[in-house]
Structure 1
Amino acid sequence: MRPDARVGAAISILDEILAGQPAEQALLRWSRNSRFAGSGDRAAIRDLVFQALRRRNSCASLGGAMTGRGLMIGLCRLNGQDPATVFTGQGHAPQVLSQTEALAQGGEAVDLPDWVLPMWRDSLGDAWQQVADAMGERAPVWLRVNPAMSDPDKATRSLAQDGVSVAASPLLATALRVEAGERQVNRSAAYQQGMVELQDLSAQLACAALPDIGAGRVLDYCAGGGGKALAIAGAQPRAKITAHDANEQRMADLPLRAKRAGAGIVAEQPKGSFDLVVADVPCSGSGTWRRTPDAKWRLDEAGFHRLLDLQQRIMAEAAAFVAPGGVFAYMTCSVLEDENGGQVDRFLTANPDFRQEARHFWTPLTASDGFFCAVLRKG
């Protein structure tokens, strides 16, 4: 496909997303109905769609309309490209610009929902604009080296043989940032043999900040795909780890991932007490909005408050499994204080038998994704 035809495809996909279709579903539907498109076309169109969604307000302002066409016109201008060179009406290119589109005089805008902006400013202080701007950029890909199977140098060499170039993080020895070849990671020997796992740097830092409980019991209460459980298993090989999720289907891939990583993780209903309980709770995902940019436009204020209620319920449930003297680690991939420190403060007020030992907060300015972790000790 020609670049202008890819823009035309992105316009149709964006129109579906703006009408309420989740981005991944809209992309998949287009792909299934467009067998002529190669893998390179699909990847390029996905990039266009996600770029436009990350900077949706700015693109709409520069393009003159909150439509798929308006967003792509705006994206051209945002990237310093004259949209008239793309919107030619020739072949599969989008139709030529109207006079109104050609004369659109908008400028860049704050690419956040209006209802989020006050909380965003209050939560991030003077850094709010920088973090908002960072959320408009493509997120880096990070790998976690599995100490049970490899070390950073060995993993780096193996990845290079399969066309994946990485750079070590100065913040964590086992964290590698993918510099080139990211689409080869899943097919690489290092990944297939359990030497590395995909995991963002901020989440890796959160897991590294957890206390070592030796041969004690660990519960990953909101396990999802099992990333935190796998990271803990790699760092604390003697620990006995149980993974749990209210939706068991989210853990469907965990047995295979655990086997590949050489980790003894049991997925089951938790019983008894645990020395370490980790709850990476459902949240706004505001720290990861550059990865799932349609999520920030789909979440509304009522849904946000429902999340706050759910987080409080999960904290109470998870904390009940903490043994005397044990640790409860509360985590979110959010930058919003209402979901982070605010929830921890409410929990500590209601549960005086817990005390805070540490509170960590990362953003794209200090690590990678926005991420929060509070370490609370019982007794």
Structure 2
Amino acid sequence: MTPAARVAAAIGVIDDCLAGMPVEKALLRWSRGSRYAGSKDRAAVRDHVFDGWRRRRSAAHAGGAQTGRGIMIGLLREDGADLDLVFTGQGHAPAALSSAEEAAPTDPPPAAVAHDLPDWLWQRFEADLGPRAGPAALALRRRAPVYLRVNPRRADAATAIEALAQEGIAAAAHETVEGALRVISGERALSRSRAFTDGPVELQDASSQAAMLRLPLRDGQSVLDYCAGGGGKALALAGRAEVAVTAHDISAARMRDIPARAARAGVRIELAEDPGAARYDHVLVDAPCSGSGTWRRDPDGKWRLTPEALRDLAQLQARLLDEALAHVAPGGSLSYATCSVLHEENDAIVTGFLERHPHWRLCDRMQRWPDEAGDGFFLARFEQG
């Protein structure tokens, strides 16, 4: 495919997204119907689509229309591309620009449009994040950095960096998060690299790693990951100390890859569809959330979230925290985590928990914002007393 043909393909995929199709499903449908497209073509179209979907409002403003074509025109215009070399109408290229499309808009976009958020969410960002609202929203318009977690059971950071380099993947140590590596180049080769398949490294954002490093673990303790999902945080905790880690999720299907991942990492994780009456030294509630700190990875999230859905999430988060409390052993601790930057899902949940359970106290809190050092992430840890 030519570069222009890739843009034309992206326009079609974005139109499907605007019609209500999730971006991953729209890309899959295009890929299945475009067997001629090679791996580089599919990667390029995917990049165009995700860039356009992250910047959906500002690109549509710059391109003059809330359509796949308008978004791609605006995206390329904002990025300084020569539109006449892309929109030629020749071969599989998109049609030439009309006179209206050739004229770049002169009026500045409203703040919510410039920051690529729905109006109501931009208002929440301003209220909840204050002066950090703008930088955080703009960070969510960009591609997310790729971070790896070094598995201390298999390698140290220097060894992992060297192993990755031998397979054409350049990585460097994070400035502040021990054991976190930022992938500088070659990320598309990660899933096939021995450094990944043999267990020395796992994909995990640096902010998530930083949160797991704050949990005080001692050999011999028991840990319950109450909303384990795919088990990334359970793996991080199991790799830190000789602790007995149990993973639980309301959907057992989400945990199906944990045994293989644990074996690869050289750790043991028990799966519990129902923890029953078991109690643990530490319980982690990595609650379902809006994902507002990770929307650059899943831009569908910010366009699909509604105030009602956010309210429902907050109610679920409070309930899960209360449920998990029953599994904390005497003298144990409880942690609450989200990949959100919104007050309603973070500090408001903490305040409500402490009001309902006055014999517990907040002993640690971490809030990270999306930037080049990692995603947005929140952690609160509670102790009895």
**1:349 correspondence with 2:349:** no
CA distance in 1, matches of 2:376, 2:311: 20
| CA apart distance, 1:190 | 1.0
**1:367 correspondence with 2:373:** yes
Match of residue 202, structure 2, among 185, 193, 197:
197
Q: 1:48 maps to which residue?
A: 48
**1:246 correspondence with 2:230:** no
| CA apart distance, 1:112 | 0.8
Secondary structure of residue in 1 paired with 2:172? strand
CA distance in 2, matches of 1:376, 1:93: 57
| CA apart distance, 1:107 | 4.5
Q: 1:125 maps to which residue?
A: 130
Q: 1:291 maps to which residue?
A: 297
Q: 1:58 maps to which residue?
A: 58
Instruction: Judge conservation of contact 1:58–1:107 (CA < 8 Å) in 2.
Output: no
| CA apart distance, 1:180 | 0.7
Instruction: Judge conservation of contact 1:224–1:251 (CA < 8 Å) in 2.
Output: yes
Alignment of 1:12-91 (within 5 A): 12-91=12-91
Q: 1:135 maps to which residue?
A: 140
CA distance in 2, matches of 1:48, 1:250: 29
Residue-by-residue CA offset, 1:163-220 (whole Å, 9 max, x unaligned): 1110001212210000010011111111111100000000000000001143111000
CA distance in 1, matches of 2:24, 2:261: 23
Instruction: Judge conservation of contact 1:322–1:378 (CA < 8 Å) in 2.
Output: no
| CA apart distance, 1:85 | 2.4
Consecutive unaligned residues in structure 1, runs of 5 or more = none
Q: 2:282 maps to which residue?
A: 276
Q: 1:326 maps to which residue?
A: 332
CA distance in 2, matches of 1:46, 1:324: 50
Instruction: Judge conservation of contact 1:145–1:176 (CA < 8 Å) in 2.
Output: yes
| CA apart distance, 1:74 | 0.4
| CA apart distance, 1:99 | 2.1
Identity value in percent: 52
Normalising by structure 1, we get a TM-score of: 0.97
Residue-by-residue CA offset, 1:220-269 (whole Å, 9 max, x unaligned): 01101100000001112x11110011111111111100000011101112
Select between 362-371 and 188-197 the one with higher mean Cα deviation: 362-371
CA distance in 2, matches of 1:132, 1:335: 10
Secondary structure of residue in 2 paired with 1:115? helix
Instruction: Judge conservation of contact 2:64–2:70 (CA < 8 Å) in 1.
Output: yes
Secondary structure of residue in 1 paired with 2:344? coil
Secondary structure of residue in 1 paired with 2:21? coil
Instruction: Judge conservation of contact 2:116–2:137 (CA < 8 Å) in 1.
Output: yes
Q: 1:96 maps to which residue?
A: 96
Opposite residue 15 of structure 1, the aligned amino acid is D
CA distance in 2, matches of 1:195, 1:107: 48
**1:167 correspondence with 2:168:** no
Opposite residue 164 of structure 1, the aligned amino acid is I
Aligned-pair Cα RMSD in Å: 1.2
CA distance in 2, matches of 1:273, 1:96: 66
CA distance in 1, matches of 2:384, 2:89: 66
| CA apart distance, 1:364 | 2.7
CA distance in 2, matches of 1:281, 1:173: 24
Instruction: Judge conservation of contact 2:150–2:201 (CA < 8 Å) in 1.
Output: yes
| CA apart distance, 1:130 | 1.0
Instruction: Judge conservation of contact 2:169–2:183 (CA < 8 Å) in 1.
Output: yes
Runs of 4+ off more than 6 Å: none
CA distance in 2, matches of 1:196, 1:294: 28
CA distance in 2, matches of 1:205, 1:190: 21
Opposite residue 120 of structure 2, the aligned amino acid is W
| CA apart distance, 1:98 | 1.9
Instruction: Judge conservation of contact 2:144–2:372 (CA < 8 Å) in 1.
Output: no
CA distance in 1, matches of 2:34, 2:322: 48
Q: 1:188 maps to which residue?
A: 193
